[in-house]
């Protein structure tokens, strides 16, 4: 059971949740609200925005300001909310297809602007809700309902993508590495600017059963056995890293944030406007 102080972040009226037995998303949800709790956030100051998919139902379960939007658009809606109410702590929770396929454009541009939003992707390597279709993060060779012969495309590395696009904090954890996941979410929430945490989740229902990882335990063992800390990964060859999940922090840097820049712009516009009059 979650600790008492964490429960205030849940809309218990909406339970039971829609997640399948063995889904990893509940573990991630718990880590996110534990992070809120241990940082002492007030639910009325938190804004959770999501897109479409299993992961995106998380916004409904969190007892804060919540916005469940259209497929892929969480960050675009979140950008509007954050600019209109910069005092809100804005978190976007997305899935892998949601963020990296249909929402890919919003993802790279939110990162490029360095707007103060924490983006969390629950990456289960598959479109779960719609029935196990391959996603941009499906591993090469893995099977999905639209990849019955194995997925021939290359897998997207979302942390590399976020970093290249300009995110100021980038980290990856898995739902097996629970304390680390919570730590990264906390650091991302406290970071000023666009922060990104990829949480590798498990979907035994849609991914596991097509890929010889039928039970949740199989999938958890798979996460445990295939995860490599970023420090160790640096000493490994590209070949040895094939099929591994590199976990840890990739980027942690300081850079001026977008809504602050916008406030400066307004001041300049007012000065200019006044001098014109």
**Region of 164-172, 192-200, 225-233, 260-268 interacting with another protein (CB under 8 A):** 260-268
Residue 73 binds another protein, judged by CB under 8 A: yes
> CB of 88: closest distance to another protein in angstroms?
5
> CB of 87: closest distance to another protein in angstroms?
6
Q: Are 125 and 71 in contact (CB under 8 A)?
A: no
Q: Which of 23, 32, 35, 64 binds another protein (CB under 8 A)?
A: 64
> How many Å apart are CA 121 and CA 44, to the nearest integer?
23
In the chain, the largest separation of any two C-alpha atoms, in whole Å, equals 72
State which residue, 81 or 178, has the beta carbon closest to another protein. 81
Q: Site residues for another protein, window 18-47 (CB under 8 A)? A: 43-45, 47
> CB of 277: closest distance to another protein in angstroms?
10
Q: Which of 84, 237, 238, 275 binds another protein (CB under 8 A)?
A: 84
> How many Å apart are CA 131 and CA 223, to the nearest integer?
22
> How many Å apart are CA 20 and CA 28, to the nearest integer?
14
Q: Which of 105, 160, 215, 221 binds another protein (CB under 8 A)?
A: 105
Report how many residues bind another protein under the rule CB under 8 A. 41
Q: Which of 30, 34, 106, 143 binds another protein (CB under 8 A)?
A: 106
Q: Tokens in use for 200?
A: 């590798």
User: DSSP H helical segments within the chain, as ranges?
Assistant: 4-7, 25-38, 58-61, 74-84, 96-97, 104-113, 158-165, 178-190, 216-226, 230-233, 238-241, 258-276
Residue 273 binds another protein, judged by CB under 8 A: yes
**Region of 24-32, 74-82, 202-210, 232-240 interacting with another protein (CB under 8 A):** 74-82
Q: Tokens in use for 31?
A: 């880590």
Beta carbons within 10 angstroms of residue 96's beta carbon: 27
**Region of 125-133, 151-159, 207-215, 266-274 interacting with another protein (CB under 8 A):** 266-274
If you search the block for the tokens 């849609």, which residue do you land on?
206
Residue 228 binds another protein, judged by CB under 8 A: no
Q: Which of 8, 39, 85, 242 binds another protein (CB under 8 A)?
A: 85
- For helices 104-113 and 74-84, angle between their N-to-C axes, nearest 10 degrees: 30
> CB of 27: closest distance to another protein in angstroms?
22
> How many Å apart are CA 90 and CA 159, to the nearest integer?
20
Q: Are 228 and 236 in contact (CB under 8 A)?
A: yes
State which residue, 58 or 134, has the beta carbon closest to another protein. 58
> CB of 73: closest distance to another protein in angstroms?
4
Binding site for another protein (CB under 8 A): 11, 13-14, 43-45, 47, 49, 59-60, 63-70, 73, 76-81, 83-85, 87-88, 105-106, 108-109, 262, 265-266, 268-270, 273
């Amino acid at each position: 059971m979650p600790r008492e102080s964490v429960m205030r972040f849940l809309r218990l009226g909406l339970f039971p949740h829609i997640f399948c037995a063995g889904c990893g998303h509940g573990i991630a949800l718990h880590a996110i609200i534990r992070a809120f709790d241990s940082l002492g956030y007030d639910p009325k100051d938190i804004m959770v925005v999501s897109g479409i998919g299993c992961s995106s139902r998380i916004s409904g379960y969190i007892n804060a300001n919540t916005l469940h939007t259209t497929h892929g658009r969480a960050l675009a809606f979140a950008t509007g909310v954050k600019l209109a109410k910069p005092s809100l702590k804005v978190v976007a929770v997305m899935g892998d297809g949601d963020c990296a396929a249909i929402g890919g454009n919003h993802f790279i541009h939110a990162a490029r602007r360095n707007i103060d939003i924490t983006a969390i992707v629950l990456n289960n390597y598959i479109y779960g809700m719609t029935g196990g279709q391959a996603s941009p993060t499906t591993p090469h060779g893995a099977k999905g309902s639209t990849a019955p012969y194995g997925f021939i495309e290359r897998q997207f590395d979302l942390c590399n993508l976020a970093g290249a696009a300009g995110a100021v904090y980038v980290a990856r954890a898995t739902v097996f590495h629970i304390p680390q996941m919570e730590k990264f979410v906390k650091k991302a929430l406290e970071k000023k600017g666009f922060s990104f945490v990829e949480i590798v989740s498990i979907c035994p229902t849609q991914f596991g059963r097509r890929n010889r990882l039928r039970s949740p335990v199989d999938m958890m063992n798979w996460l445990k056995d295939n995860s490599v800390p970023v420090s160790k990964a640096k000493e490994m060859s590209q070949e040895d890293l094939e099929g591994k999940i590199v976990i840890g922090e990739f980027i942690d840097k300081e850079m001026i944030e977008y809504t602050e820049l916008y406030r400066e712009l307004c001041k300049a516009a007012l000065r200019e406007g006044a001098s014109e009059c």
